């Protein structure tokens, strides 16, 4: 059999242990853009803050079998954790504050780093892409995401210390590759909150490209108030204000990602 249809990575962890760099915003708007263009997409909230869950208008909601907390800590079938969203083709595994305890409770569970993989593997056939929104830490929840994922998408805030601390993430990925998930790849580095009125943004962008080379997406996400406002309306920015620069950038990112996968 010839390998004509090379499948791209399907499960993507959106990770950076630094807080507030645009992980959740990227998960919501990239996933929604892809769902709007007809792809079957699943969002997985692995952050006890639950920002992804509230950002798609599902704050405090549980699926039939519960939230990601029960998905990780019980053996209930994964299908029971899927919630629909206001967007066709976009599903969610929600999270709430209970997940805070999981980081500790998982420690004594057998194969504790593989729990999320166990949940997502049976769901792969139902979706074209699965995005995992990680918390701002390199703890057991993020580790579970890195073990479950085919590749990592790293959002980087365009500011002075952007690259600092990234060594920890890259080091963690290297360790995961060495043992728990040898095929873990870097999907790409995404420059976020870019302000073209300052030189600093351009300098940081240049440094990041020097370091990560062609792993950096051409699409840059600008600083845009609509991206900041949309979550308080429980709506993805690409729906809340589709004409905003922020929304347009995420639609462009979705196209760039698909083009890369097709190449």
Ligand X SMILES: Nc1ncnc2c1ncn2[C@@H]1O[C@H](COP(=O)(O)OP(=O)(O)OP(=O)(O)O)[C@@H](O)[C@H]1O
What is the contact mask toward ligand X in residues 89 to 128, using x (rule: CB under 6 A)?
A: ----------------------------------------
| Window of 15-23, 32-40, 72-80, 117-125 that interacts with ligand X by CB under 6 A | 15-23
- The residue among 253, 251, 232, 229 whose CA lies nearest residue 242 is 251
51: contact with ligand X by CB under 6 A: yes
Least spacing, CB of residue 71 vs ligand X, in Å? 19
Q: Structure tokens of 121? A: 């593997």
- The residue among 213, 211, 152, 139 whose CA lies nearest residue 181 is 152
Half-sphere exposure of 161 toward its Cβ, with a 13 Å CA cutoff?
5
For the chain, first and last CA: distance in Å? 19
Select 8 or 136, whichever has its Cβ closest to Mg ion.
136
Least spacing, CB of residue 117 vs ligand X, in Å? 22
Binders of ligand X: how many residues, by CB under 6 A?
A: 20
Three-class DSSP category at 243: coil
Tokens 């599903």 label which residue? 91
Rounded CA gap, 169 and 244, in Å?
32
What is the contact mask toward ligand X in residues 127 to 166, using x (rule: CB under 6 A)?
A: ---------x------------------------------
**Residue 192 binds which entry of ligand X, Mg ion, none, CB below 5-8 Å type-dependent:** ligand X
What is the contact mask toward ligand X in residues 236 to 255, using x (rule: CB under 6 A)?
A: ----------x---------
188: contact with ligand X by CB under 6 A: no
Rounded CA gap, 154 and 102, in Å?
24
**Residue 29 binds which entry of Mg ion, ligand X, none, CB below 5-8 Å type-dependent:** none
Least spacing, CB of residue 51 vs ligand X, in Å? 5
User: Among the residues of the chain, which ranges form H helices?
Assistant: 23-36, 51-55, 68-73, 99-105, 115-120, 140-148, 166-178, 199-212, 225-229, 237-240, 245-262
Answer yes or no: are the C-beta atoms of 14 and 131 closer than 8 Å: yes
Least spacing, CB of residue 121 vs ligand X, in Å? 25
Answer yes or no: are the C-beta atoms of 194 and 227 closer than 8 Å: no
Instruction: Pick the binder of ligand X from 152, 227, 238, 254 (CB under 6 A).
Output: 227
Q: Structure tokens of 51? A: 């920002």
| Window of 2-10, 24-32, 115-123, 154-162 that interacts with Mg ion by CB under 5 A | 24-32
For 45, the enclosing helix (H) or strand (E) is strand 41-45
223: contact with ligand X by CB under 6 A: yes
Instruction: Pick the binder of Mg ion from 17, 24, 53, 85 (CB under 5 A).
Output: 24
Least spacing, CB of residue 240 vs ligand X, in Å? 11
Instruction: Pick the binder of Mg ion from 18, 23, 58, 117 (CB under 5 A).
Output: 23
């Amino acid at each position: 059999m010839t390998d004509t249809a090379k499948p791209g990575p399907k499960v993507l962890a959106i990770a950076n242990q630094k807080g507030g760099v645009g992980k959740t915003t990227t998960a919501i708007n990239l996933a929604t853009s892809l769902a709007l263009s007809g792809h079957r997409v699943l969002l997985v909230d692995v952050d006890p803050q639950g920002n992804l869950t509230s950002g798609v208008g599902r704050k405090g909601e549980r699926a039939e079998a519960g939230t990601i907390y029960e998905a990780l800590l019980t053996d209930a079938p994964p299908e029971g954790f899927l919630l629909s969203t206001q967007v066709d083709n976009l599903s969610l595994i929600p999270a709430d504050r209970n997940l805070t305890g999981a980081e500790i409770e998982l420690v004594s569970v057998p194969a504790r780093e593989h729990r999320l993989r166990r949940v997502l593997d049976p769901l792969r056939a139902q979706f074209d892409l699965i995005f995992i929104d990680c918390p701002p830490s390199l703890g057991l929840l993020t580790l579970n995401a890195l073990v479950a994922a085919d590749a990592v998408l790293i959002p980087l805030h365009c500011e002075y210390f952007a690259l600092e601390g990234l060594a920890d993430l890259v080091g963690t990925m290297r360790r995961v590759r060495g043992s728990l998930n040898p095929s873990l790849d870097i999907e790409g580095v995404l420059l976020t909150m870019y302000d073209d009125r300052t030189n600093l943004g351009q300098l940081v962008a240049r440094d990041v490209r020097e370091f990560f080379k062609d792993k950096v997406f051409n699409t840059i996400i600008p600083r845009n108030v609509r991206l900041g406002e949309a979550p308080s309306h429980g709506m993805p920015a690409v729906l809340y204000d589709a004409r905003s620069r922020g929304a347009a950038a995420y639609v462009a990112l979705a196209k760039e990602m698909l083009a890369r996968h097709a190449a």
